[in-house]
Amino acid sequence: MTKVDEREPMAFEQDVLDLALGSLLGRQDPRPAPPTRRPRRRRRTVIAIAAAGLAIAIAVPIALPGGGTGGADPAAAGVLHQVALRAAQQPSEPTPGPGQYLYTRSESAPTLLYVVGDGNTFLFRFPMTRESWLGYDGSGRIRNTWGPVTFPSDEDRDKWAAAGSPDLYEVQTDDDLHEDRSEDDRFAPGELNNPGRFADLPADPERLLELIESRELGGGPRGDWQTFSIIGDLLREASPPPKVRAALYQVAAELPGVELVGPVVDGAGRRGVAVAYTNPSSDSRSRMELIFDPTTAELLGWSEVLVADSTVDVESGGPGAIYGAVGPAGTKIFTTTYLVSGVVDSTNERL
C-alpha cells in the first residue's frame, strides 16, 4: 500500500531531495541490489552540477513552456520538472537497427477477489511475465507467461487453504511473432510502444502536448486523465530518446490533477518517486501511479491503486466467483514493474 506523506511540505521535499542525492552519490543500501533496467548503459554524471540543479529546482518555482506555473500539484510539478532535467542529461540509448530488437522484460499482476461462500473471501494475484522484442518497424515478438498464483498476505493464503485450495488459474504462455509492418500500420495512432515511433517526435513540450491532446499520438477520449495515461504508455517498453522523455515529464507537470505520491519502492525493491492521477470516471475508484527513478528519469513501473473502499455483493455471484478492482482503499489492483531492457540481435535473445 502506498501512503501519501502528510508532513509539512518542506520536510517532504527534503525527503525527495535526500532520496535522489543518495542515489546520485552512491549511498549504500543494506538490502541486496535488485536488477537494473538498463544493464548495458554507460552513465556519465557530473555530481556537483546535478546536485546543485536538483536543490534549485525544488526550492524555487519552475517556469513552464507556456509561461505559467503549471496545473499539477506544485510539489508534483517541481519533481516532474526536475526529472525532466535529469532525463535530458542522460546519454541516448542504442536503437535497434536492421535485424535488431529492443528487448524488455516486465512483471505485472492484477489483484483479484475469490468468493468462498457465506461472505468469506480472499485476495490473490495472478502474475504475468511479459517479454517483448520490438523492431524499428514494429515487427517483433511478444511472449506472455501467466502464473503461478500468489497471495498478498498470509491470511489470504490461509483462507485459500482452508477453502480446500481451489484451482484459480493455470500457468500458461502466449507467444506471438509479428511480421514486418507497413509504415501506415506501424505509425497508426494506437501503436505507441514502437522504437520507430519516436524518431520524429518533437522534443518541444508544447508541440508534443498538441499531438497528444489531438490524439494524433495515442487514442481514446479527450481529457487530462487520458493524456496522463498516454504519457505513461509512451514511457513504457519502447523508451523514448532523452529529450523526448524530458518533454513528456514537462507535459505531465502541466496537467491539472497530477499529484505527488512521493518516495516509494517498486515491485523489484528499487526506490523511486511516484506521481499519480485519479480517474475522474464516476464508476471508478482508482488512480494511476507512475514510478520513476529520480536520478535517471527511467520509468520503473506503474500501479493502479484504489482510492476508496470498493466492494461487491459477493452473494450474487456465489462460491467460486472472481471479481477484479475490489478491496479496501490502498489496494494495488494492478501493478507492472519494468526489469530489464536493451537491444538484442534476434527475437530469441534475452538480457
Element (H, E) at 129: strand 128-134
Helices assigned H by DSSP within 1-65 = 9-24, 47-59
Encode pLDDT of 100-117 as tens digits. Answer: 999 999 999 999 999 998
Ranges 81-95, 192-206, 265-279, 299-313: which has the least confidence: 192-206
Model pLDDT, residue 24:
32
Q: Highest mean pLDDT: which of 20-34, 48-62, 73-87, 310-324? A: 73-87
Model pLDDT, residue 174:
92
Q: Which residue has the cell 489492483?
A: 333
Tell me the three state secondary structure of residue 301. strand
Tell me if 125 sits within 8 A of 111, measured CB to CB: yes
pLDDT tier, 161 (very low <50, low <70, confident <90, very high otherwise) = very high
Cα pseudo-dihedral 313, 315, 316, 317, rounded to 10: 100
Model pLDDT, residue 121:
94
Tell me if 37 sits within 8 A of 300, measured CB to CB: yes
Average confidence (pLDDT) over 23-30: 32
Whether the bond into 94 is cis, omega within 30 of 0: no
Model pLDDT, residue 74:
93
Q: Is the dihedral of CA 94, 103, 220, 280 positive or negative?
A: negative
Inter-residue long-range contacts of 248-252, CB under 8 Å, 24+ positions, other chains counted: 248/208, 249/80, 249/81, 249/83, 249/84, 249/87, 249/297, 250/64, 250/65, 250/80, 250/81, 250/84, 250/205, 251/205, 251/208, 251/209, 251/212, 251/227, 252/72, 252/80, 252/228, 252/290
Average confidence (pLDDT) over 300-309: 93
Radius of gyration for the chain, computed over Cα atoms and rounded to the nearest angstrom: 21
Residues in the chain, overall count: 351
**What percentage of the chain reaches a pLDDT higher than 90?**
51
Model pLDDT, residue 83:
94
pLDDT tier, 179 (very low <50, low <70, confident <90, very high otherwise) = low
Encode pLDDT of 308-345 as tens digits. Answer: 988 888 888 889 999 999 888 999 999 999 999 999 99
Residue 135 has pLDDT above 80, yes or no: yes
Model pLDDT, residue 350:
95
Encode pLDDT of 197-218 as tens digits. Answer: 777 789 999 999 999 999 888 7
Model pLDDT, residue 194:
67
Return phi, psi of residue 106, to 5°.
-140, 165
Give the amino acid at 110.
P
Largest pairwise CA distance in the chain:
62
Distance of CA 298 to the CA centre of its chain: 9
The average confidence (pLDDT) of the chain is 77
Tell me if 250 sits within 8 A of 81, measured CB to CB: yes
Number of helices (H), then strands (E), belonging to the chain: the values are 9, 11
Which one is predicted more confidently, 66 or 328?
328
Pairing of strands 259-265, 271-278: antiparallel
pTM, entire model: 0.75
Model pLDDT, residue 180:
55
